[in-house]
Amino acid sequence: MLLSAAMLLCGSSLSFANGDVDFSYRYWLSSIDAQSGPAVVGSASVDMVDAKDALGIQDENIGDFQLDWHIDHTHKVQLNYFSSEVSGTAVPNMRINGWDLTAGTFHTEVSIKNFQAAYVRYFDNELTPDKRYGLILGLRNVRVNADSTQLDGSLRFTKDFNLNFPTVGFTVETGLTGKLQGFAGLSGAYAGSRGYFYDGEAGLRTYLDKKHDVSLTAGYRLLKVKAEKSNGDKLDAKLSGPFFAASYRF
């Protein structure tokens, strides 16, 4: 899916009509791995902070939504969105202004939002009718907001990242003439010293009816973003894990 990378809950090239729309819901059993910093928060210089080790952030499963509009046999428009809230309470393991922070227990909340709009151009091969490849061109917005507050309210740290960038990628689909289809996709962006982003997935899909209106999907997804803002703030975050999805065509 953002989104990425080809969020590929689309149907067989043999089974949809021009103008068909797929609505998909994905339940993602995601694990978070994130670091932020070094950064300046207010007048304090904060060293790199690990979301789990320093802040006690816990993994949360994610639900995301996707629409696929099949313009015709070889063209598709795709919209994907998810929003996730993770939190944790811990005595931070971090350094501020070069000193270990021993100020007590903090509660941290992190909001992650991802939206992608993409165009997919498929390329078929008459020699392999059960397989096709696609080029993905997209626009992605990723927002990460963090708020960490000491339980007695005496200290509070906040950080916001709002990232907008174009993405490019590819998708591969196999088994299009059978009951069980496979897919894989990857898309991303690279901005040199300012960072990079990629979103990839692979899995299997099966249809529950002859018209291919209802499908179930299982797979694995990995989303990675590394960014540095103009003021020097840095973010390095990864979401990964298996997912299950259901899709309906109308």
What's the CA gap between 31 and 60, in Å, rounded? 7
Q: Which of 71-80, 131-140, 164-173, 176-185 has the lowest mean pLDDT?
A: 176-185
Separation of alpha carbons 199 and 239, rounded Å: 9
Average pLDDT over residues 18-23: 87
CA dist list (Å): 153 to 2, 90, 104, 140, 202: 35, 14, 11, 35, 44
Q: What is the pTM of this model?
A: 0.83
* pLDDT exceeds 90 at position 183: yes
165's CB contacts (< 8 A; 6+ apart) are 139, 140, 189, 191, 197
User: What is the assigned CATH class of domain 21-249?
Assistant: mainly beta
pLDDT number for residue 73: 85
* Residue 250 exposed, middle or buried by CB count within 10 Å (0-12, 13-18, 19+): exposed
Question: Which pLDDT tens digit goes with each residue over 203-245?
Answer: 999 999 887 789 999 999 999 998 887 777 788 899 999 999 9
Q: Quick check: 250 pLDDT over 50?
A: yes
